[in-house]
Amino acid sequence: MTEPAISPLRRRMIEDMTVRNFSEKTRTDYIRHIKTVTAFLGRSPDTATAEDLRRFQLHQTKSGSRAPSINSSVSALRFFYGVTLDQPGLARLLTFVSEPRKIPVVLSPEEVCRFLEAAPGPKYKAALGAAYGAGLRVSEVVALKVSDIDSTRMLLKIEQGKGRKDRMAMLSPQLLELLRDWYRIARPRLWLFPGQDQTDHLGTRQLNRVVHATARMAEINKRVTPHTLRHSFATHLLEQNVDVRVIQVLLGHARLDTTALYTRVATNTIRAVMSPLDHLIGLNKKKAEPPA
């Protein structure tokens, strides 16, 4: 079977991304954004003007595109015009859109327990247990290899996480038991959680579908995603008074202010703080005095 023909322009862009060691996902996303611009223009993207690109971004905003999608397209277009076409001035009017920082959805420990108990079988209980027990991203869970489990040092090796960085994650005794239960059943060789094709790992979309189904089975009414388990991991550690800088390392965050977001949802931490109102001794005394 012959491969579909690729235009010289797209091939050059792919080569430019390959030289810079872009991830597979980034390459796919960038190509998709250039296709979208091409469809909007109705002609080859290398014929676009700065005004065409400004109109495209205005079209995105008016059509209700979300900030992450718009920002991803800006990055793709700046790369395409600035690097592949060597015309950085064309994308000068494109701007990144600020993203509102929402409080993440977090499950209570009791809800996490119900959720994991409702998981469909040892494979998914182990995978979802890893997402919560080690605070892993969904892409990190599915890409785990059998060799990444270090039961001697009680660590999980995360290869090429976000930002293409390796790191070590914690491996709790209970998570190790979940992983061992699954290993004894399936005896996976390479990928800890193989997909239907044993030569590849489980897909993120499949795990996403399992998370939604499991939340329904557990009768959890919150909007649960794989990342909810990671949010819950960080929040529960914070409520156990684990230093936020330690949590930053465990999550693999590059910036502390990203981790600090969880202080907004750590309810035990919030409740433990005494309000300055309670320090107003005079007000307390007046309250204690009986009415005349």
How far apart, in whole angstroms, are the C-alpha atoms of residue 106 and residue 224? Answer: 9
Catalytic residue among 125, 167, 230, 236: 230
φ/ψ of 155, rounded to 5, equals: -135, 155
Structure tokens at 139: 């892409």
Active-site annotation holder among 10, 27, 55, 227: 227
**In contact, 155 and 168? CB cutoff 8 Å:** yes
Is 137 tagged catalytic? yes
Element (H, E) at 27: helix 24-41
* 62 noted as active-site residue: no
Residue carrying the six token digits 């998709």: 32
Phi, psi angles (nearest 5°) of residue 201: -90, 170
Catalytic residue at 231? no
- Give yes or no: 114 in active site: no
Catalytic residue among 123, 125, 231, 253: 253
Decide if 236 is catalytic.
no
How far separated are the first and last CA of the chain, in Å rounded? 96
Catalytic residue among 114, 162, 180, 264: 162
Asked if 181 and 196 count as a contact pair (C-beta separation under 8 A), the reply is: no
Nearest to 39 by CA among 66, 5, 63, 68: 63
Strand order across the beta sheet in which 167-170 lies = 149-150, 155-158, 167-170
- Give the span between the Cα atoms of 212 and 58, in whole angstroms: 34
Residue 182: what are its φ and ψ, rounded to 5°? -70, -40
Q: Is 35 a catalytic residue?
A: no
Among residues 123, 125, 137, 231, the one annotated as catalytic is 137
Angle CA 184–190–192, to nearest 5: 50
Catalogue the active-site residues: 137, 162, 227, 230, 253, 262
